[in-house]
Structure 1
Amino acid sequence: MLTILVTGAAGLIGGEVCARLAKRGHRMIGMVRRTPDIRGNDGAPVNGVTVVAGDVRQPLMGLEPAAFDLVIHCAASLEFDAPQEELSAVNVEGTRNAMDFAKAAEAGFLHVSTAYVCGQRDGPIAEGPVPEGTRFTNRYEASKAAGERVIEEGGTAFAIARPSIVLGDSATGRIRQFPSLCNVFRLMARGKVTRFPAAGTASLDLVPIDHVAASIVALAERFDAAAGGHYHLVAADPLPAAELAHGVARAAHLPDPVVVRPADYDPAALSPAERLLAGRMLATFGPYFTRSPRFDDTRLREVTGLSCPATDNAWLDRLIAYGVERGYLPQPA
């Protein structure tokens, strides 16, 4: 049995990781900042977790170091366009504070980053440190890469887990909190965005939450073997970006957005309302619809023995059905 502290335990990934590790008999401490409610992806409260209040922006996260085997650092600011000061305070200095706590507690440090620290690179992406000179799409990516550098230079035993874009459970489509990318799909499903600019070669790496959580659990339980490594928690087959629009039309009661090449996309031809909404959408996500990184996960599979379940059209249908069931997507008339 391990004694494990999870930061960001009230979040989507942190809550599901707590649920799985507690069920496996580990002594769990969940650190939260505002919400003391720790729930798994099924929405049920997690039993067997001691809740503590902390803040990654404070030295040692405002906690007294105690005996831990491992700190799993899930806490982060996830807003792509958040102010630089906020992203630096949480994703960079906050990571330093969490790592310092792990060092003081003589614990290993398992950090949850993002596969998209690859920035604007295309093609095969290895499980290793972010290369010097990488150009990033937004401040969020840059802050997560800077957080990784803090860890790599910090002098404590570490492993870095890099999920891609986390969506619903592979078997049920269930997700406790819809991530921001889902709003792109929602805008098209509601007929608010009718034209979707995407390069023909572009892809999105969408990964089920159960694979992400199971991988983090496996890395935690095999931390001695995992230490020093970077691990991609990603899909076996990325989704062509255009399928985000085509997926809307897979539900008979939803509209069929038109996919256009980015060079042919003319905002002036849109209604004022759509031009405003689409402009905001593309300011945040547009670059992800123009490139195709391919994340290698060989080392994750070697250390954990886990492979991602199929992320095919059947899974996409389950995601859509769950979104409709929850009322996040439009109901049939």
Structure 2
Amino acid sequence: MTPSGAPPALVTGVTGLVGGAIVLELLRRTDAEVLCLARDSRREPAVRRVPRLLARMAADYGMDDVADAIATRCRVLPGDVTAPGCGIPEGLLPPAVGEVWHAAASLKFRARDRAEIDLHNVTGTRNVAELAVRLGAHTFDLVSTAYAVGDRTGLLAEEPVPADCRPNNAYESSKMAAEALAAGIPVGTVRILRPGIVIGHSETLAAPTTFGLYSYVGELNAFRARIEPRLGNYLDHYPVAMLGDPATRGNLVPVDRVAAAAVRLGLVGAPGGIYHLTNTEPTCLGEALTALTGALGIRAPRWVSDRAELNSIDEAFNKKLDFQGAYMLQDKVFDASRALRHCEDLLTVPLGLERIGEYITRYVEDGAAEAARARRKAAQRV
């Protein structure tokens, strides 16, 4: 642990998957106060919402040992990364901070949302960086994504994205810009942390998110609901064709391993630069989709390489998954040599078909339980 009396850490994105896990890991591994920057919601102020969500996350992850620390060492800073000064009232600003972990981001990806995406991911990074400098931070950690490399394929090193790299979508473009901005922040150490596709906890499998691998669940269920009135349970019996190569590798990595690796880099004083927080054992995306569809009771997709092989249902299916489509065709392997010097024991997580199916089953069960709770609350209000 860091010695008591260390300056507080500042974390953004604390109600998100990675940001929340970083907060919990900081509480477990250090004695420092953790400042949690978060927006007020329409229904609940951040000072109530953040501790509640962190406590639930800790329970879902089996981290009962940090429950007291959430109450005693987490301090909520109400604000908004998209606003100048991050929207923090002057009287609430701390006199100084040590390390800043910027995990807040928009995970939208469509071109029509570019202005909103850039506001959160580029302007937001600039605002948090300026706040970090103002508060005398010695380290700035930007949580980016390994997929900020755009359409590049093959073995990808821990290095800046080349200027001629073409992003697959507006999200990737914004992360490229955020990385370039972060590299010039005038603090002692700047680390750019690039996780793979973040999934649930490595032991409990819990995943408080609807993005990444889990976005397939929502998209597939929505597609099934769309075609059922006309075709009944078609997806349960007939494989839909998907454009792509099932051997294409994707990098799935549990959220607790990402957070543990990120915090360890800070604790050991790892030098600035880019770190791939990726799994040394990538997953074939065809296997991942087979596990996912199996958990949903849907026939595994039939893989094709030519759009001419798609019928009208296949076309609609592929359009529904347009965000993920590029990743089915771009084989990427992430060299994590720099990260592995410090975190090799954390970043090797075998994920076979059966294990991925368990992650999806847990996610579906949690979603059903949450829906049932919402129905009970609604009934009580009537």
1:256-275 paired onto structure 2 within 5 Å: 256-263=299-306, 266-270=309-313, 275=315
Q: CA deviation at 1:109?
A: 0.6
- What secondary structure, in the 3-state scheme, does the structure 2 residue paired with 1:242 have? helix
**In structure 2, which of residues 290, 294, 313 is the aligned counterpart of residue 246 of structure 1?**
290
Summarize the Cα distance change of 1:146–1:249 in structure 2 as closer, same or farther, 3 Å threshold.
closer
Summarize the Cα distance change of 1:55–1:327 in structure 2 as closer, same or farther, 3 Å threshold.
closer
1:183-262 paired onto structure 2 within 5 Å: 183-185=215-217, 187-188=219-220, 192=224, 194-222=240-268, 224=269, 226-248=270-292, 250-251=294-295, 254-262=297-305
Q: CA deviation at 1:247?
A: 1.1
**In structure 1, which of residues 54, 78, 88 is the aligned counterpart of residue 107 of structure 2?**
78
Structure-2 residue corresponding to 1:61:
86
Aligned letter for 1:215?
A
Q: Is the CA contact (8 Å cut-off) linking 2:291 and 2:354 kept in structure 1?
A: no
Q: Is the CA contact (8 Å cut-off) linking 2:107 and 2:211 kept in structure 1?
A: no
Q: Is the CA contact (8 Å cut-off) linking 1:190 and 1:254 kept in structure 2?
A: no
Does 1:16 find its partner at 2:45?
A: no
Aligned letter for 2:273?
G
**Over residues 88-141 of structure 1, what are the superposed CA-to-partner deviations in whole Å (9 max), with x where a residue is unaligned?**
221112111111111111111111011011110001111111112111100110
Aligned letter for 1:49?
C
Structure-2 residue corresponding to 1:96:
126
Question: Bigger shift: 317-326 or 184-193?
Answer: 184-193
Larger radius of gyration, structure 1 or 2?
2
1:99-248 paired onto structure 2 within 5 Å: 99-107=129-137, 108-156=139-187, 157-185=189-217, 187-188=219-220, 192=224, 194-222=240-268, 224=269, 226-248=270-292
Aligned letter for 2:82?
R
Does 1:34 find its partner at 2:37?
A: no
Aligned letter for 2:213?
L
Q: CA deviation at 1:189?
A: 6.9
CA distance in 1, matches of 2:364, 2:206: 11
Question: Bigger shift: 312-321 or 64-73?
Answer: 312-321
Q: CA deviation at 1:198?
A: 2.1
Q: Which runs of 5+ in 1 are unaligned?
A: none
Summarize the Cα distance change of 1:7–1:183 in structure 2 as closer, same or farther, 3 Å threshold.
closer
Matched positions, count: 322
Q: Is the CA contact (8 Å cut-off) linking 1:65 and 1:105 kept in structure 2?
A: yes
Q: CA deviation at 1:269?
A: 3.5
Q: Is the CA contact (8 Å cut-off) linking 2:246 and 2:286 kept in structure 1?
A: yes
- What secondary structure, in the 3-state scheme, does the structure 2 residue paired with 1:29 have? strand
Q: CA deviation at 1:318?
A: 2.1
- What secondary structure, in the 3-state scheme, does the structure 1 residue paired with 2:86 have? helix
Which protein has the bigger helix share?
A: 2
Report the TM-score, using the length of structure 1 for normalisation: 0.88
Summarize the Cα distance change of 1:152–1:74 in structure 2 as closer, same or farther, 3 Å threshold.
same
Q: Is the CA contact (8 Å cut-off) linking 1:122 and 1:293 kept in structure 2?
A: yes
**Over residues 299-325 of structure 1, what are the superposed CA-to-partner deviations in whole Å (9 max), with x where a residue is unaligned?**
111134533322223421320331242
Q: CA deviation at 1:267?
A: 4.3
Q: Is the CA contact (8 Å cut-off) linking 1:196 and 1:245 kept in structure 2?
A: no
Summarize the Cα distance change of 1:327–1:150 in structure 2 as closer, same or farther, 3 Å threshold.
closer
CA distance in 1, matches of 2:354, 2:300: 20
- What secondary structure, in the 3-state scheme, does the structure 1 residue paired with 2:349 have? coil
1:286-325 paired onto structure 2 within 5 Å: 286-305=325-344, 306-325=346-365
Give the superposed CA RMSD.
2.4
Q: Is the CA contact (8 Å cut-off) linking 2:160 and 2:274 kept in structure 1?
A: yes
Aligned letter for 1:197?
L
Summarize the Cα distance change of 1:178–1:311 in structure 2 as closer, same or farther, 3 Å threshold.
same
Question: Bigger shift: 293-302 or 261-270?
Answer: 261-270
- What secondary structure, in the 3-state scheme, does the structure 1 residue paired with 2:321 have? helix
CA distance in 1, matches of 2:24, 2:293: 35
CA distance in 2, matches of 1:208, 1:180: 12
Q: Is the CA contact (8 Å cut-off) linking 1:188 and 1:245 kept in structure 2?
A: no
Q: Is the CA contact (8 Å cut-off) linking 2:11 and 2:35 kept in structure 1?
A: yes
Q: Is the CA contact (8 Å cut-off) linking 2:288 and 2:353 kept in structure 1?
A: no
Q: CA deviation at 1:16?
A: 1.5
CA distance in 2, matches of 1:328, 1:174: 13
